[in-house]
A and B are shown apart, each in its own frame.
Chain A
Amino acid sequence: MKLLKDPFIHFLILGLLVFIANGVFNRGDREEEIIITQDDISRLQSLYKQNWNRAPDSTTLNRLIDDFIDSEILYREALRLNLDHNDEIVKRRLRQKFEFLAQDLADLNDPDESALKDYYDAQIDQYKSEKTITFFHYYFNPDRQENPVDQANLLLRQLEAMIPEPSSDYGDPIHINSFQDKRSKWMVSRDFGMEFANTLFLNDQPGWSGPIRSGLGIHIVYISEVIQERTLSLEEVSDQVLSDWKLANREAVNANILDNLRKKYTVIRSYEK
């Protein structure tokens, strides 16, 4: 049964199905017979509508049908004369169709738990949480305070003797929330500036600290919780692992199919190295 797991075998089966389907749905007009069906007409109409945002009128539709017939005639004659051989545009388009086929095949596969776990273990460095700090702060605006650092120190000494809880009674108004819940260094620096974020994350002992200078003035800070960087469990990042696995699987399937196909060919490199 191992064969059934090989993507290349899947690919061959899929290719066969496409081949059969083409045979069924293209109805096999005889070589010098072109049959136009209602399906063809609908397709022409919807293509036209897509480009022009209106349905074709009857004159236009007749023109489209005539053009469709001419295209079909010229296409068949061109194939008969082998004009598709060694044409770069045709090659590129066919290669693209081939790759789409392989991609669809890869997407059919869903990993089982152990495959996901293996992938997660191998890529474990990708799945880390950032260090965060939970804190609240009081602000002293240098536009309003003659000596904001002194003011901050004064309040700090008062608060150190009290139960720490966020309050709107202290400091100057500021647009940044007093309470900051589980903030990463970047989120802190986005609001307070880089100088403040660097200081906070360097001196991250729980409790009161300050005065700390920011791009906006002076702050005193109470840190209540520091969560260090850690590796996230598979359960926490299962969605991301799944989508990463799919991407990796797509690449692997493509490579596998191409490898197998390469085996069918002998490449003779008759050029000077």
Chain B
Amino acid sequence: MNIKIYLFLFILLAASCNQSTGPAQQPGLISADSKIEATTDSYLSERQAFFGDLHIHSGWSFDAFIYNVRTDPGDAYSYARGIPIKSPAGTIKIKRPLDFASVTDHSEYLGVMMQMINPESPLYQLDIASKVRSPDRAQSIAAFGEVGTSIASNVPLDQLYDPSIMSTTWEKAVEIADDHYEPGVFTTFPGYEWTSSPRFGDDPENLYAANLHRNVIYRGNKVSSIPFSSFDSQDPEELWKWMEGEKSKGIDLIAIPHNANMSDGLMFPKETFSGRPIDRNYAQLRHDNEPLQEVVQVKGQSMSHPLLQTNDEFANFEIYAFTFAIGAPPPSRPEGSYVREAFGTGLQMGEQFGVNPYKFGIIGSSDTHNSGGTIEEDNYSGKFGGLDGTPGQRLASDSADAVVRFKYMSAAGLAGVWAEENTREAIYKALKRKETFATSGTRLQLRFFGGSDFRDLDFEDSDWVKKAYTQGVPMGGDLRDFNEAPAFLIWVAKDPDGANLDRVQIIKAWIDQNGNPAERTYDVLWSEDRELDTNGDLPPVGSTVNVPDASYTNSIGAVSLQGIWKDVDFDPAVPALYFVRVLEIPTPRWSTFDAKELGIEIPNTLDATIQERAWSSPIWYHPN
């Protein structure tokens, strides 16, 4: 393996030092100062990358239960720690354990479905209970339809809606999270999913619903007495107001939206849920309660769409542009459904209202409904267990809309977090200050800092990270009032059990002269002896994938990439943000492993290979 790396410095640091005249200007670094003291052996003051999943459903979620998942949150935490657990299609086991996790069962009908197999429960007698118990997949789907419709139309099924069951189940969930918390080794957070799925369209027979779901994650076991459910309100603003009330009681909680890609434009809307124009009040509530967005998971990624990012050759990655409308003719509208667009409109709104409602960091997570099994490409066992637990179920040639969707699900994702140690305190603080990155399932490590120049910082020195923290702000931070172009430091190490690195890009969003959001992608670091072509584009890295064998080799690509980049197009008067995207060399998609196992051709609508990737949280630049 003979690889050259280009440390890509657009402007040499020395040059920028020489240009400065007069006393050195001290530009503002705004860093959420939240250092914590060591409480475990795992402590590292320069922070370390932990990988976790903050979006897991067990059999306590109504939909998981209907699809025959019988595991509980304790099983889900065991799975995350590497212990094999039962699933409808056989035992599942993660190849590499996680560092932290939160089981986030749906708050709607929380724990209620379990009563349907309990002969002593009055719920056992219900019509829907016999459908839930039926081994027939059609019956399960019918039961799911009934419950799902009640959520979409926001009418609770009286027979099922039992707050006493829900609150007892919630208490147990919090207790289980506590039991599985092992400071320094494995961290758990109590949480649940608020499943707002507003209905659209006029067909009463069909479930036309958009995704406004949020996971509510608590720092510790001081939690709400009962979860806020979409039956309390489908309006995110009402959720935030409720959260404000909880915070005033000393409860620490955040909401993390996900699957903007399935929101039909409602995740990043032009007006509020109740039809008001977006105003400062809305912006403030959203900003304060939603520091993070989950952007990649089993139902695809929500960063980019080829119809929005028309010049980005890598935008078309794991697209899952459905709503919950099974068979609905219009797929989810891209406008208002993707994060990169929202990053731009957020800058605009920040100017307009003084608060940017979309000033969030990003993470990935799984959204498994089978207590596990959806993160690893070569160990993918489907989202629902009972419906898509085997390769045959997932790649079935069935043209029913519900089945077709399984093929487009993604073996993803993970939340990467830079924290001092593996404890609730340290990781939760990192989540709140947005020192996070999202990955499509890989465990590559990505550091990203912004500052004035990082002079005398040398990657060969062991103290470079300490210097980076002193001279700059990490991902999720803010830069204010610079006279000269800021510098950005990027460091990436490959996943030790994953593929080599292809390239590192910086994506910049800003407001153009006409007041409209603009965006540009820069290739800044890459592997191999490649040169930019006449259009300034970097040629592809190539591929080592053997498709029939579902294998690849790391004979191309880099082990690590690092460098410092300056923005030559910088305008000190213009609000902007910068984030990093890292691509790995191509590897086989999960469906390629499935096709090999089944001995069939890969369905022609699917890519045989993917480039696993990571995205950093942004660093924002404010003119004043």
User: Cα distance A195–B460 when bound, in Å?
Assistant: 26
CB–CB B559/A190 < 8 A: no
User: Cα distance A116–B496 when bound, in Å?
Assistant: 43
Query: Closest Cβ of chain B: how far from A220's Cβ, in Å?
Result: 17
Beyond A173-B459, A186-B97, A194-B497, whether A143 also contacts B558 by CB under 8 A is yes
Any chain B CB within 8 A of the CB of A92?
yes
CB–CB A216/B493 < 8 A: yes
Interface residues on A, range: 20 to 34
Any chain A CB within 8 A of the CB of B494?
yes
Q: List 12 A-B residue pairs with CB atoms under 8 Å apart, sorted by A's residue number.
A: A53-B248, A89-B122, A96-B168, A141-B559, A143-B4, A143-B527, A146-B2, A175-B493, A189-B496, A193-B497, A195-B497, A216-B560
- Give residues in B with beta carbon < 8 Å to A: 1-5, 82, 95-97, 121-122, 162, 164, 168, 225, 245, 248-249, 445, 459-460, 462, 493-498, 527, 558-560
* Closest chain A residue to B125, Cβ basis: A88
* Closest chain B residue to A96, Cβ basis: B168
CB–CB A191/B496 < 8 A: yes
CB–CB B559/A217 < 8 A: yes
Query: Closest Cβ of chain B: how far from A191's Cβ, in Å?
Result: 7
CB–CB B497/A215 < 8 A: yes
Query: Closest Cβ of chain A: how far from B616's Cβ, in Å?
Result: 16
User: Cα distance A185–B121 when bound, in Å?
Assistant: 46
Q: Which residues of A contact B122 (CB under 8 A)?
A: 88-89
- Give residues in A with beta carbon < 8 Å to B: 50, 52-53, 88-89, 92-93, 96, 141-144, 146, 168, 173, 175, 186, 189-196, 214-217
* Closest chain A residue to B241, Cβ basis: A53
CB–CB B494/A215 < 8 A: yes
User: Cα distance A260–B27 when bound, in Å?
Assistant: 75
CB–CB A50/B225 < 8 A: yes
- Besides A146-B2, A168-B462, 13 new A-B residue pairs in contact (Cβ under 8 A), listed by A number: A50-B225, A53-B249, A89-B122, A96-B164, A142-B1, A144-B5, A186-B97, A190-B96, A192-B496, A193-B497, A215-B496, A216-B496, A216-B560
User: Cα distance A216–B443 when bound, in Å?
Assistant: 13
User: Cα distance A168–B445 when bound, in Å?
Assistant: 22
Q: Which residues of B contact A89 (CB under 8 A)?
A: 122, 162, 164
- Most-contacted residue by chain B among A142, A143, A192 (CB, 10 A): A143
Could you tell me the dominant secondary structure of chain B's interface residues? Answer: loop
Q: Which residues of B contact A146 (CB under 8 A)?
A: 2
Query: Closest Cβ of chain B: how far from A69's Cβ, in Å?
Result: 24
Q: Which residues of B contact A215 (CB under 8 A)?
A: 494-498
CB–CB B96/A189 < 8 A: yes
Query: Closest Cβ of chain B: how far from A177's Cβ, in Å?
Result: 9
* Closest chain B residue to A195, Cβ basis: B497
Query: Closest Cβ of chain B: how far from A175's Cβ, in Å?
Result: 6
* Closest chain A residue to B49, Cβ basis: A175
CB–CB A175/B445 < 8 A: yes
Q: Which residues of B contact A143 (CB under 8 A)?
A: 3-5, 527, 558-560
Q: Which residues of B contact A50 (CB under 8 A)?
A: 225
- Most-contacted residue by chain A among B82, B460, B496, B497 (CB, 10 A): B496
User: Cα distance A144–B558 when bound, in Å?
Assistant: 10
The 10 closest A-B pairs by CB, nearest first: A215-B496, A193-B496, A88-B122, A53-B245, A193-B497, A143-B3, A142-B1, A143-B559, A143-B558, A215-B497
CB–CB B164/A92 < 8 A: yes
User: Cα distance A191–B96 when bound, in Å?
Assistant: 11
Query: Closest Cβ of chain A: how far from B573's Cβ, in Å?
Result: 37
Q: Which residues of A contact B497 (CB under 8 A)?
A: 189, 193-195, 215
User: Cα distance A80–B493 when bound, in Å?
Assistant: 74
* Closest chain B residue to A52, Cβ basis: B245
Query: Closest Cβ of chain B: how far from A221's Cβ, in Å?
Result: 15
Specify which of A96, A173, A214 is in contact with B496 (CB 8 Å cutoff). A214
Q: Which residues of A contact B459 (CB under 8 A)?
A: 173
